[in-house]
Structure 1
Amino acid sequence: MKLELGNFYVKDIVFGEKTCYADGILTINKEEALAVVKEDEHITEADIVIAKPGDSIRMVPVKEVIEPRHRVGGGPVFPGVTGDLMQSGNGRTLALKDCCITVVGKHWGGFQDGVIDMSGEGAKYTYYSQLKNIVLVGDTDEEFERHEQQKKNRALRWAGMRLAEYIGSIVADIEPEEVQTYELEPVTKRSKEVNDLPSVVLVLQPQSQMEEMGYNDLVYGWDCNHMVPTFMHPNEVLDGAMISGSFMPCSSKWSTYDFQNYPMIRRLYEEHGKTLNFIGVIMSNLNVALEQKERAAQFVAQIAKSLGADSAIVAEEGYGNPDADFIACIVALEDAGVKTIGLTNECTGRDGASQPLVTLDSKANAIVSCGNVSELIKLPPMETVIGELQALARDGLSGGWEGDEILGSSVKEDGSIIMENNSMFCGDRVVGWSTKTMVEY
């Protein structure tokens, strides 16, 4: 597979009469963009706001982030989701860089939603404060889940994907400013020089634990709960095959933007043919029952061994119950003779003294930590709130609360907040953007 990503670097975003891109300026016709959003009759209210790095803006409840893109030659950006099923990872896709579509609830949140601050102390905790955000803030008539702590958020998330395709389409006939090429030879067709390098496989464990459909990550539109461990080309992940779900405490989530730009995949590509032989991606599932976890781990180990992997990197989306899948996978790989490194966050409690993962094993002796989900974060007020600040406390966001004997409510009268890192949107950045480090005492 050969994927060309044609990049356009957005310097500024403004509203105007015509949606277009020129000289680094992205202009959006708000009326046209909102018409795309409201193609779904379940969208009852919607607005589009621009939020830039350094703005005194807080967004909550944040539900999804997506990179605007266009597939050259036709076809959906997200095969099997926003259009017909087709192979991703081949051909050319155009991307608007340094910006994103951010989907925010106008009122109601759930434990899987989060916070993004565009400036101040909070900005350092999430990657998306660095991007120019095209913020879709809206509400729906999905009354059946309005007061549920866990929400599918389908109408808003799908509206975000349609908006990403609409914005991306404006560069369809423009030559990109930069083209990045991603290509791997078939595993059995590589040169002796490449095959003599240490071989590495990347094992991804996207969220797939919910047995009811509509909450989990999607692969080509297929709920990952139905998936068994599968060998995938890394280009498929970078080119729209994977969609973020609505399930998972927010700091642990992988947004669709994360899948589209997966930093660990890009890093392995950079080293391919130089220091290592990047075999590809094993996409594994997360399970509930112990037997299911062990079965998936054995599948992963068998695939890795059959592909000739000398080493593996395992990354999990989530924590708690998924830790059992994560550790089981590492152990199975090590037992198969595949040296393995793990990427995960920790849940060590507000005092940092609890066991970091639900289950541990002596063979899991090379784990990269991306921080503690329970770390307390205090943030000052922002001049503008996009969405509804009270959702952090009222709606059971995984890092917020309405009342605490000592700390009170997460939302203070002056607009300042206190919350666990859990509520920071994709804040642990397990995919590879993380700037966090751990200190040993």
Structure 2
Amino acid sequence: MKLELGNFYVKDIVFGDKTFYSEGILTINKDEALNVVKEDEHITEADLFIVKPGDKVRLVPVKEAIEPRTRVGDGPVFPGVTGDLMQAGNGKTLALKDCSVLVVGKHWGGFQDGLIDMSGEGAKYTYFSQLKNIVLVADTDEEFEKREQQKKNRALRWAGMRLSEYIGSCVKDLEPEEIDTFELDPITKRSSDINGLPSVVLVLQPQSQMEELGYNDLIYGWDANRMLPTFMHPNEVLDGAIISGSFMPCSSKWSTYDFQNFPMIRRLYEEHGKTLNFLGIIMSNLNVALDQKERAALFVAQMAKSLGADSAIVAEEGYGNPDADFIACIVALEDAGVKTIGLTNECTGRDGKSQPLVTLDPKANAIVSCGDVSQLIELPPMETVLGELESLGRDGFAGGWAGDEILGPSVRDDGSIIMENNSMFCGDQVVGWSTKTVKQF
């Protein structure tokens, strides 16, 4: 499979009479863009804002991040979700870089939603403060979904994807400023020089532990809970085959933008043929019952061994219950003779003294930490809030609270906040963005 990603580097974003891209400036016709958003009759209110690094703006509840793209030769950016099912990872896709579409609820948030500060102390905790963002702030008439603690509002998420496709389409007839090419020969057809290098497989565990549909990450529109571990080409992940789900404490979540740009995949591509032989991706899953976790781990280990993997990298989306899948997978790989590194965050409690993962094993002796989800963050008021600040403490955010005997409420009367890192939108960035780690004293 050969994927060409054509890049257009956005230097600034403005509203104007038409949507177009020229010399680094992305101009958006706001009325046309909102018409795309409001194609869903469930959306009752919607507005668009442009926020940039350094702006004194706080966004909450943030539900999704998407990179604006368009597929050359027609076809949806997200096959099986925003259009007909088709193969992702082949051909040419055009992307507007250094920007994203952020989806923010106008009122209600939930367990899986997060916060972004575009400036100040809070900006360092999330990658998206570095981007120029087109922010969709919207509400719907769906009472159940607005208040159901763990389910993101589907109408808003899909509106964000439609909006990103609409914006991305403005470059469909332009020549990209740069082209990134991603291509791997079939495993059995690679040269002896490449086959002589240490072979590596990347094992991804996207959010898939909810047995009820509507919560989990989707793979080609298919709920990831319904799959068994599956071998995938890395190009598929980079090219829209996966969208983010809606059940996960927010700092642990992988947004759709993260899947589209997955730094770990790009890094393995950079080393392919130089220091390693990148075999591809085993897309695993997260389960509820112990036997399901063990079964998935055995599938992963058998697949890695059959592919000839000398080593593996395992990355989990989330923590808590998924830790059992994460460790089981590492242990099964090690038992199969595949040297394995794990990528995860930790939940060590506010004092840092709790067990970092729910399950541990001596064989999981090479884990890269992306920081503690329970770390307390205290932030001053922000000049502008897009969304509803009260949702942080009111609506069951994983890192927010309505009241605490010692700390008081997450949202104070003056607009300052105190929360756990859990509420920072995609703050742990296990996919490879993270600059955080832990210190041992």
Letter of the 1:435 counterpart: T
Whole-angstrom distance in 1 between the partners of 2:182 and 2:100: 22
Residue matched to 2:256: 256
2:288 alignment partner, SS class: coil
Q: In the TM superposition, what whole-angstrom CA distance separates every residue of 1:381-406 from its partner, at most 9, and x where no partner exists?
A: 11000000000000011000000001
**Matched ranges for 1:157-306 at <5 A:** 157-306=157-306
Q: Secondary structure at the match of 1:231?
A: strand
Deviations 1:240-289 (A, max 9, x none): 00000111000000000000000000000000000000000000010000
Structure 1 CA distance for aligned equivalents of residues 175 and 282 of structure 2: 34
Query: 1:353 & 1:389 partners in 2: Cα distance?
Result: 30
Letter of the 2:40 counterpart: D
Q: Which amino acid aligns with 2:92?
A: R
Match of 1:351 in 2: 351
- CA–CA distance in 2 between the matches of 1:161 and 1:322? 27
RMSD, matched Cα: 0.5
- Residue 70 of structure 2 is aligned to residue 70 of structure 1: yes
Which amino acid letter does the alignment assign opposite residue 305 of structure 2? K
TM-score by length of 1: 1.00
Matched, 1:81 2:84: no
The sequence identity of aligned pairs, in percent, is: 84
> Per-residue deviation at 1:150?
1.6
1:153, distance to aligned residue in structure 2 (A): 1.1
Matched position secondary structure for 1:100: strand
Task: Render the CA deviation track for 1:1-44: whole Å, top value 9, x for unaligned.
Answer: 00000000000000000110001000000000000000000101
Name the TM-score, length of structure 2 as normaliser: 1.00
Residue equivalent to 1:156 = 156
SS in 2 for 1:168: helix
Structure 1 letter corresponding to 2:341 = I
Question: 1:438 and 1:348 mapped to 2: Cα distance?
Answer: 10
CA distance in 1, matches of 2:145, 2:125: 29
Other-structure match for 1:341: 341
* Secondary structure of the corresponding residue to residue 181 of structure 2: strand
In structure 1, what residue type is equivalent to 2:362? S
Secondary structure in structure 2 of the residue aligned to 1:297: helix
| In structure 2, distance between residues paired with 1:438 and 1:158 | 36
Cα distance in 1 for partners of 2:149, 2:143 equals 13
For 1:19 and 1:83, the matched residues in 2 are separated by 22
The alignment partner of 2:147 has SS state of coil
**1: distance between equivalents of 2:396 and 2:440?**
32
Q: Give the distance between the partners of 2:437 and 2:295, measured in 1 at CA.
A: 33
Q: 1:146: Cα distance to partner?
A: 2.5
- Matched residue of 1:35: which SS? helix
CA contact (8 A) 2:110 2:152 kept: no
Asked if 1:118 corresponds to 2:118, the answer is yes
SS in 2 for 1:83: coil
Question: How far 1:437 moved relative to its partner?
Answer: 2.4
Code of the residue aligned with 1:277 in structure 2: it is N
Q: Secondary structure at the match of 2:62?
A: strand
What is the Cα deviation at residue 439 of structure 1? 1.4
Tell whether the 8 Å contact from 2:112 to 2:152 is kept in structure 1 after alignment.
no
Q: 1:222-249 CA deviation, whole Å, 9 max, x = no partner?
A: 0001010000000000000000011100
Q: Deviations over 1:326-359 (max 9, x none)?
A: 0000000000000000000000000000000000
Deviation at 1:149, TM superposition (A): 1.5
Counterpart of 1:266 in 2: which secondary structure? Answer: helix
Q: Find the aligned partners of 1:113 and 1:370 in 2 and give their Cα distance.
A: 19
**Residue in structure 2 matched with residue 364 of structure 1 by the alignment:** 364
Partner of 2:35: 35
Partner of 1:413: 413
Give structure 2 stretches of 5+ with no counterpart. none
Moved over 3 A (4+): none
Question: Matches of 1:291 and 1:345 in 2, distance apart?
Answer: 24
Confirm or deny that 1:4 pairs with 2:4: yes
Equivalent pair of 2:70/2:94 in contact (CA under 8 Å): yes
